Structure 1
Amino acid sequence: MNLLSPLVLGAAGVCASPALYQALTGGMPMEVAMSRYLVALGICWVALSVVAAMIGEPPAPVRQAADRGADRGVDRGEDPTLEMERPPGVPAEQ
């Protein structure tokens, strides 16, 4: 996950919003609020990166049998049986 992605920046903003609000109203120095925001940014980045790594990419869609047949030349009159590679040492059937 990118550190500067909108999701990470927004999550850090939500986490540090009380400190940012206090800095805008004058109850806290801006330097303290910004340091809290930067700490929240690092924590949110790590947390969202861990979640993204656990979820992973979605699986590739399964191709339908008709799609496989069209790719194999069924519409051109060729044999539609699927071919598999044989492991080394296994003789071909004849």
Structure 2
Amino acid sequence: MNLLSPFVLGAAGVCASPALYAALTGGMPMEVAMSRYLVALGICWVALSVVAALIGEPPAPARQQAERGEDPTLEMERPPGVPAEQ
């Protein structure tokens, strides 16, 4: 997953929102809030990259597979005792 993708930036913004709000209202220095945002950015990037790696890419539709020359039908083995179709 890209570090600058909207999902990563948004998730880090949500995680660091209390610090960012405190910095905007004057209760915390902006440097502290931005450093917390950068830490949250790194953590969210790693977490979302792990989730994206576990989920993987969605399978290609049958039409795209046919355009690439692949067989879009699913080939399965017959269970024992089932005769072949003629």
Fold shared, TM-score > 0.5 on shorter chain:
yes
Q: How many residues align?
A: 85
C-alpha RMSD of matched pairs (Å): 6.8
Q: Which runs of 5+ in 1 are unaligned?
A: 65-73
Identical residues among aligned pairs (%): 93
Distance 2:16 2:57 in 1: 30
Q: Which residue of structure 2 lines up, in the alignment, with residue 62 of structure 1?
A: 62
User: Which of 54, 67, 72 does residue 80 from structure 1 map onto?
Assistant: 72
CA distance change for structure 1 residues 87 and 6 in 2, over 3 Å: closer, same or farther?
A: same
Q: Which has the higher contact order (CA 8 A, sep 6+)?
A: 2
Normalised by the size of structure 2, how large is the TM-score?
A: 0.71
- Checking the alignment, whether the CA contact within 8 Å between 2:11 and 2:44 is kept in structure 1 is yes
Distance 1:31 1:10 in 2: 19
CA distance change for structure 1 residues 9 and 89 in 2, over 3 Å: closer, same or farther?
A: same
> Which structure has the larger Rg?
1
Q: Which runs of 5+ in 2 are unaligned?
A: none
